[in-house]
Structures are given as structure tokens and as C-alpha cells.
Structure 1
Amino acid sequence: MKKDLSLSALVSDATMVNDYDPNAMSVEKAKTWINHFLHNIDQKESIHIKDALHRVLAKSVIATMNVPNHDNSAMDGYAINTEQLDEQGPFSLRVTGKLFAGNKLEGTTKEAVRIMTGASIPKDINAVIPQEYVEVNGDNITFQQKPPAMQNIRTVGEDIKIGQTILQKGRRIEPCDLGLLASLGIGSIEVYRKVKVAFFSTGDEIISLGTPLLPGQVYDSNRYSLIGLLQRMDLETFDLGVIVDDKKIIEDTLKKASAFADVIITTGGVSVGEADYMKEILKKIGEILFWKISMKPGRPLAYGKIGGCHYFGLPGNPVSTMVTFYQFVREALLSLSGESPIHPIPMIKAKLLTSIKKIPGRTEFQRGFFVQNPQGEFNVSAIKDQGSGILRSMTEANCFMVLSESMGSLEKDCWVDIQLFDSLF
């Protein structure tokens, strides 16, 4: 693939690339082509860390202080100077001081100091003995072993040092990161703005909720699946509803959406059909690639741009919509959001508890239900109904069984790769 190959050039002349076949596109090849035309959105904003969960850092965070910024006790116990002890015990010391976290020393450090976790270590103390290893008798303590120097003392910069990069640009902020930032006194960070995604369904037979169905009509399930998928990715979303099969209305909707959104996602209208006007309109107003992916479910897929807006045309069958989103759109949205690196969806091995049918020559994402047996081994069973229009198969499943192009039918006890639904985000 040529690094400087433009989308418009590929749309106008697909023969310019030797290994490019829009009618027999592998899953991995399609991902590679999509990624070739993606660049993260470079607009940034500064936000308070309490609002930063799952946002993407636009600038690396450098520590401007040490954490901890003082030597402190890692235990509740007794702080001593080991240099005043002989090599062999037992040892007996008088408690001459008391020190709590955030407070000043009461008394002196002459022999032993009762100390609490987090309290600053006085300059002439070099070890802390945990309280469970000490016998207390009035104002005296007895212990058997001499502790090594610096035992149970957290030193300055042990967690973070001044000048250390603690969070890299491109990182998606997790709950633990919020605490880390707060420990450095950092109240705001620079992040990329949220990716703006507009989406709608197409088709005269697709009806919005709240309207009684007439013969031949179905409720719009795809839009609600997309709402859930997009909400999990912390995006700015625009639900444009159901658009009827009218050329002018579809064209106007696409043009208006492309003026404010970074990405448009549609479901339906990208495969062959008498009333599917989407391909004709997209060719007129955008630079769109129409692919037949060697996969099941989800064979038809469109990708391209309308002006500066990325476009994904997903198939209309409910399961196909979700599978193509997981396998293609998810990664593209992560890339546009500035996240880096983008890790592939984890796959683990599981043993089949049921036989499955498959034809070689395409990648299949069959729905399965996995469990972990008492020996720690993952087992997976195929969901009975695997049709691309059977949305119930997604509800009954908790994973995809990813069956490569070269695979045929598999018998019980064979091993397969699975993608856990919970690992997709």
C-alpha cells in the first residue's frame, strides 16, 4: 500500500493497487485500508480531572513534584534508629515520642517513637518496626530482631519523581489515573475534544418506537444498538432518527450531518436493492468505497468521506450492524479520538462444547456463550440460531467465536479463538 495514496484516487481507480479487490476484501485488509485514511482530531480542550474519566490525553503529563514529597512510615508501629542497637536481640527501648500523619512530633526521638502510617520520618530515624512484632509494657517496647535500615519507610519520590512522565499523550484516562493526577496536585489536564458522531437508519419499512406497526414494517432496533455502543465509547452523539427511502431527504441529511459531525454512521442501504438509494447518493456527494467483506455476518460495508467527515455504511441486518461496528467502526473511532496505542481486541482460546458448521473462505463471527470450568479452562458453546437477523443471538451470547477464513466445520472439543463482549470496550 502506497503511503501517499489518497481516498479519491482509490475511489476513481481501484486497479491502481495490485492487491485491492473490493468484491473479496478480507477483514484484516479492510481494517488496514480504513486505518490508512484516518487521522486523529487535533482539537484540544482543558478540563478538570473530575470530568476527565475516559477522555484521551492530548499532552503528556510530567510530574512537577515528588510523590511522596517526604519520607514517611509505611506501617503503624515504632520508629527507631537501628544504629543504637547491638547486632543480637532481644531489644528493649523506651517510647519517648509519638507521631501521627500530618502532625508534629510529640516528645523526642531519643529511643523509640510511636508512629502511624503516613507520618513523616524524623531525620534521626531509619526504620519502622510493625506494631505486631513488638511487645508493649507500659512505656517500654521489646522486640527480638534488629530490623534492616530503611525498613517500612517510604522514601521521597518512591512512587513518582520530579520530571517523570506519568501519563503519555494518547492515553485514555482510567479511574486510577484520576487519583494519580490528584496526588501530584494536578487539577486540570489537556484532552482531545470528543469525536462527534451522527447516525441514522434508512428504509421505508423501518419504524420508530411509539408508532403502531403496519404489515411489512419493523421497529428500528439498529439505532438503539448503536446508541448503546456509542455511549460506551464516551463520544458526542447525534441521533438523526429514521430516514425514509427518498433521495433528496437522504442527500440533505448526509450533507447537513457532514457539516458538523466527524463521523456519520448509517445502517441499511449499502447492499443491492431496488429502493436502496444510498450508494447512488454517496457516489454523488462523497468519496466512498463499497466493499464485500469476506465475513459472516456483515458482508456489505461502505467506508469513505463526505467532505471532511468520515462515513461508515453498515448492513441493515441487526447482528451484522453490531458485528461490523465491533470489528471496524470501534477501532476507527478510537483512532480518531487520539487514543494511542490502540490495542487489538483480546482473543483467548476456548474448547468447543458443541460442533459448529462453517464454509472455508470467509471469517465468521459466530455468537457463543463461554464459561470457565473448575480447572480454569474456557469452554464455549455456539448459540443455536446464528442468522444475521436474529438479534436475540447477541443477547444470549457473551462472546464471538472468531473462525478464520481457512477454517471449515469444527467438531466438539476443538479449540477456537473467542472475543469476550466485555473486552470489546
Structure 2
Amino acid sequence: MRKVLRDEQLIDPTEAVQLAISRLPVKLPVSEVSIIDAIGKRSAEEVESPIDLPPFSRSTVDGYAIRSSDVPGKLRLMGKLNIGEEPSVTLPPGQCIEVDTGSALPPGADAVVKVEDVRKTSEFVEVTSSVSPGLNVAWMGSDLVQGEPILSQGEQITSEKIATLAAAGISTIKVVEGLKVAVITTGNELVPPGSPLPPAHVYESNGWYLAARLKELGHEVLGPTMVRDNYEEILNAISEAVDRSDLVLVTGGTSAGERDYVHAALSSLGEVVFHGLRFKPGKPTVMAIVRGKPVFGLPGNPASTVMVFDRIVNKYLSQGGWDEPLTITAVLAAPVMADPRRFTYVPVYAFRSTSTTFVYPIIFDSHMIGTLSSSDGYLALPPGTRLEAGSVVEVRLLKVDPRPVVLGEEERSLSLSNNVRKLLVGSRPACDALRMGFGDVLIVSSLLCQPDSYQYSMTRTLFWSGRGVEVGYVDWVGMSSLTKTAHVKVKSPSIALKFLNRGRVLLPSTYHAGEEEVGEETLYVVVRNNSRKFLEGIK
């Protein structure tokens, strides 16, 4: 059952989307619904305003409608025009009419003076200063002109758009409805969330991501259904799903392993359109047509599932045009390199300084769904690309986190506010942030860099503990400089502590006092903007 995907057989992600659309275009159903039921859906057509907004010129304040050329001066009060009343007279020179906020502007008037800006007697109103034409007036059509678009085709309908539709007198709208999508996950190692976790098993997350994302996009979801790595079970599950749905998504079993049966099942059930992308993560993606229905096979690694859905499946569902992430320009804070042969998607953290957005590429592998979910966006790099720190890059932004950021070393004795974003990933990015001028609170190790000034410091003794395979740290962590030959490299002291009975582990004294003292490490806390509100309980 093995199928080796050679580099020369792979296709670009853009080519894959175009090929899928050309072979089997998506036809999303359209329905006409009340505007209140259109929230979150996409407009099936361009919608134009049938009227001018506002439909008549009106006052924006409580006051007196006047001719601006008559003031300063004393004007005779000729009555009042209430909200909802149509003007029956033209305002003559030298006179004024009392109006409320929202009252129609009588013909002849070109401005409104606020009640508090005049002197009023029983018959006259005195305006003591000059007034510009248009003062406190909302002119007819100043918001929208009749025929001006309210919605474009494919635009997502928000509450603000619904308010605009209602203001224009529109009560129903044609919207794009979602498809019925079946989600299947494969793997002998999978356990549903909420169940006990046996040894050598993992909780199933791909199906939950796909179901949640599809619902978020307005589709109906069947599943997720878990299937074991068995050819007949996978074949039957896909066949049944095709009969019940408009589109089928399968995760796992698309690569070259002996138990990767999805591509074989799809070949048996229908026609494989493509198998293998020049794309990282996501190389073994497959798409087939089974009984006139599209079936996508996504890699089983969680991050691969997320990226392939975003860049392939969702582009196919939206015909290549909708739901594109916001793209921003930023400065790269550390070097990054793409795979030499594949398009590479690199997750990044984003940091805002006074005038610049910086992005930092994350240590990442395709199984790291937690790391991916904590990222702010990603870089899309062509094969063989190498970018140096300081390069200006385009970032596909997935979210904006407004909280202050604590970046740097993990130290459990430091009590940090719950109202901050904690990126305790090591000193390397914090040292780069110190050099380039971003980050709110930085915690750096003396083993990698030392700030010119700081608000707090602490020294911790370092010990080797235990026997066996040497357990050290990834390059981002300060203690990595003392564990260059380690066989196992972890990202924090908290994780290293879990290896204490299985290897020789380097740990700070604040986590475990070991047998062999190595030396000392000082942690420096640098707080930007002279504010300490992000730290609590530091002694």
C-alpha cells in the first residue's frame, strides 16, 4: 500500500486549487432570507441601495433652521417642524423654524443653529455670530446615494451591514448557504476527547478543528467520524460519506506508510485529481472525485490539517476568492529559510512597537497544533527562500492580540499578571527583541545576552540531575549553551523536569536541586515604558 511521493510529481498549491476548481467547480446553494437571518452569511449578489440615505435633508441637532446669509441677526420665529412632519412652507428670508434632531430641513434653509447658541424671545431668535452653510445638516444622500453598493457579491454580512440594509428599506436578501460536509479521521492511535488516554495514543483533534472551522464558515457538518487504519473500514466510510454529503474531508492515511490507505481507497472509489503538494506542511494532500463529489485527503499531522484546509480546501470552497487572511507588512526579527523544494508556511509571533510591526518565526513542526494556535500569522515562502533579520515581509495575519506581551525565559517563581500574553519560549527571541526595540516585558538569560539596564534580576544555580540520556534545551533557551551535546532537547525547565527519572537533566535550583552543580544563570527582567504593572509578586 506504500506510495512514495517524489518531488517531480508534486504540484504547487495554487495549481492544485485551480485544478480542483476546473475539474469540479463548487456550486454553493443560494436562498433568500430575512436580513436578521443573514448575519454571518455571504451575500449571493451585489446589493445596491434603492434610496438615498438619508432620504431627505435633516437636522442633526435640536435648534432653529435658518438661511445662513441672514445671520448674524435677529430672525422671526415662524413655528416648529416636528420629527416625521413633511415641510409645508419654504423658509422666507429673515425668519427661522424650530426643529428637533431628525426633523426635515424646510426648503430655503441651509443651516441649523443649536438651541444653546441663540437668544430667544417669544417671537424672535437672535443669532450673534456668522454660520456656514450646511452647519448641523445631514444632506440627502450624504451617507449613501441611490444605486450605491451596500454589499458586494461574496461579502460577509455583519450587524452593521444589516443595519444599513434596514435603513435602506431592504427586508430580505439572497445569501450563499453552506455545503453539507462529512468529516472522517483515521488512525489506530486516536482517542476521542473526554476519554481516558491509553499509552501510545493521542486525543483526536483534526476532526474537531475541521468541524469547528466549517461551522464557522457556515457549512453543515456530518461527524467527525473516527475510523481505524483498516482499508475496508476506510473505503466504506468514504463511500457512505459521499452518499450523505456534498463534500468529504478525510484526515490521516494519505502518506507513504504501510497503513496509509486513504489514497488507495480513493483510487478504488473514483478518480484521483492530484496527490502530493509542493507545500510544507502538507505534502501528502490528495484530492479525488467520487461519484461526482469532491473528496480531500488531508495529512494527519494537526498543523498540516490546519494549513491545508486554509490554503487548499477553503480556497476551493470559496472559488479562490473569499476568506483570505489579512496581509500586513512587517519587519522580520530573525532569519528564516524555506524548504529547498516546497512552498513553506512558517508561523510567526507578531509584536507592535511604536511605529513598526515585527514578526518572529516560531520553532515549529507539523504535529505542533498548540504552537500553531498560539501564533499570530504566518509567512508564505517560495521554495529555497532565505530571509535575513531586518527583511521586510508580508505576513498573513490570523489574529490580533492586544494584550501586553511577556517574552523570554520560563521561571516559575516569577508571578505574572493574568492580563498579559505569556510567550515564555526562551531568551533568544527576547534578546533579539531587546536589540530591535520591541516587546513589553523581556526576561533574558545572562548565558545569551545582558541588557544595559533592567528593572529586576534573579540568580539561579544550575544542576545536573539523574542518570542516562542527556536532556538539554532548544537553542532559544539560555541553558542550551551548556547542553550542546544533549540527545533530547526540550523547550522549558517544566518539560525537562518530566524527564528527571529517565535521563540526565539540567535544571535550575528553582525547579530542582540536583547532585552536580554546573554554575549560575542570572535572569534579567526588562520592563518597557517604565511600567511594572505586568509583574506581580516579584521578590
Q: TM-score, normalised by structure 2?
A: 0.66
Structure 2 residue 366 is the aligned partner of structure 1 residue 391: no
Alignment of 1:24-423 (within 5 A): 24-41=10-27, 43-82=29-68, 85=70, 90-103=72-85, 111-130=95-114, 134-139=117-122, 140-148=125-133, 150-162=134-146, 165-335=149-319, 342=322, 344-374=324-354, 376-384=355-363, 386-408=364-386, 410-422=387-399
Q: Write the distance in 2 (CA, Å) between the matches of 1:196 and 1:354.
A: 43
DSSP-derived class of the 1:331 partner: helix
Q: CA offset at residue 275 of structure 1?
A: 1.4
Q: Write the distance in 2 (CA, Å) between the matches of 1:70 and 1:262.
A: 48
Provide Cα deviations, 1:192-231, integer angstroms capped at 9, x if missing partner: 3222211110011112123323332211011122233223
Q: CA offset at residue 105 of structure 1?
A: 7.4
Q: Write the distance in 2 (CA, Å) between the matches of 1:356 and 1:58.
A: 41
Q: CA offset at residue 38 of structure 1?
A: 4.7
Equivalent residue letter for 1:136: R
Q: Write the distance in 2 (CA, Å) between the matches of 1:193 and 1:357.
A: 40
Provide Cα deviations, 1:134-170, integer angstroms capped at 9, x if missing partner: 332445222321433x554334444445555543443
Distance 1:38 1:175, change over 3 A: farther
Q: Write the distance in 2 (CA, Å) between the matches of 1:43 and 1:242.
A: 28
Distance 1:105 1:411, change over 3 A: closer
Whether the 8 Å contact between 1:402 and 1:416 is mirrored in structure 2 is no
DSSP-derived class of the 1:284 partner: helix
Q: Write the distance in 1 (CA, Å) between the matches of 2:48 and 2:208.
A: 41
Q: CA offset at residue 92 of structure 1?
A: 2.3
Q: CA offset at residue 419 of structure 1?
A: 1.2
Distance 1:234 1:343, change over 3 A: closer
Whether the 8 Å contact between 1:96 and 1:107 is mirrored in structure 2 is no
Distance 1:346 1:60, change over 3 A: closer
DSSP-derived class of the 1:191 partner: strand
Whether the 8 Å contact between 2:28 and 2:178 is mirrored in structure 1 is no
Q: CA offset at residue 183 of structure 1?
A: 1.1
Provide Cα deviations, 1:309-333, integer angstroms capped at 9, x if missing partner: 2111110011111111111112122
Percent identical across equivalent pairs?
A: 27
Q: CA offset at residue 341 of structure 1?
A: 5.0
Distance 1:274 1:30, change over 3 A: same
Whether the 8 Å contact between 2:29 and 2:179 is mirrored in structure 1 is no
DSSP-derived class of the 1:402 partner: strand
DSSP-derived class of the 1:32 partner: helix
Whether the 8 Å contact between 2:183 and 2:248 is mirrored in structure 1 is yes
Provide Cα deviations, 1:247-293, integer angstroms capped at 9, x if missing partner: 33222221222123222111101111111221111011122234322
| Larger Rg belongs to | 2
Equivalent residue letter for 2:53: V
Whether the 8 Å contact between 1:383 and 1:396 is mirrored in structure 2 is no
Distance 1:164 1:59, change over 3 A: same
Unaligned runs of 5+ residues in structure 1 are 1-20
Q: Write the distance in 2 (CA, Å) between the matches of 1:418 and 1:115.
A: 52
DSSP-derived class of the 2:336 partner: coil
Provide Cα deviations, 1:14-48, integer angstroms capped at 9, x if missing partner: xxxxxxx8723223322332333353425322211
Equivalent residue letter for 1:79: A
Distance 1:245 1:174, change over 3 A: same
Equivalent residue letter for 1:141: E
Distance 1:305 1:76, change over 3 A: farther
Q: TM-score, normalised by structure 1?
A: 0.82
Equivalent residue letter for 1:116: D
DSSP-derived class of the 1:419 partner: strand
Q: Write the distance in 2 (CA, Å) between the matches of 1:368 and 1:228.
A: 23
Q: Write the distance in 2 (CA, Å) between the matches of 1:193 and 1:146.
A: 52
Equivalent residue letter for 1:228: A
DSSP-derived class of the 1:28 partner: helix
Q: CA offset at residue 407 of structure 1?
A: 0.7
Equivalent residue letter for 1:128: V
Unaligned runs of 5+ residues in structure 2 are 1-6, 401-539
User: What is the total number of aligned residue pairs between the two structures?
Assistant: 390
Distance 1:223 1:23, change over 3 A: same
Q: CA offset at residue 178 of structure 1?
A: 0.6
Whether the 8 Å contact between 1:97 and 1:108 is mirrored in structure 2 is no
Q: CA offset at residue 182 of structure 1?
A: 0.6
Equivalent residue letter for 1:102: G
Whether the 8 Å contact between 2:251 and 2:299 is mirrored in structure 1 is yes
Distance 1:208 1:369, change over 3 A: same
Q: CA offset at residue 52 of structure 1?
A: 0.2
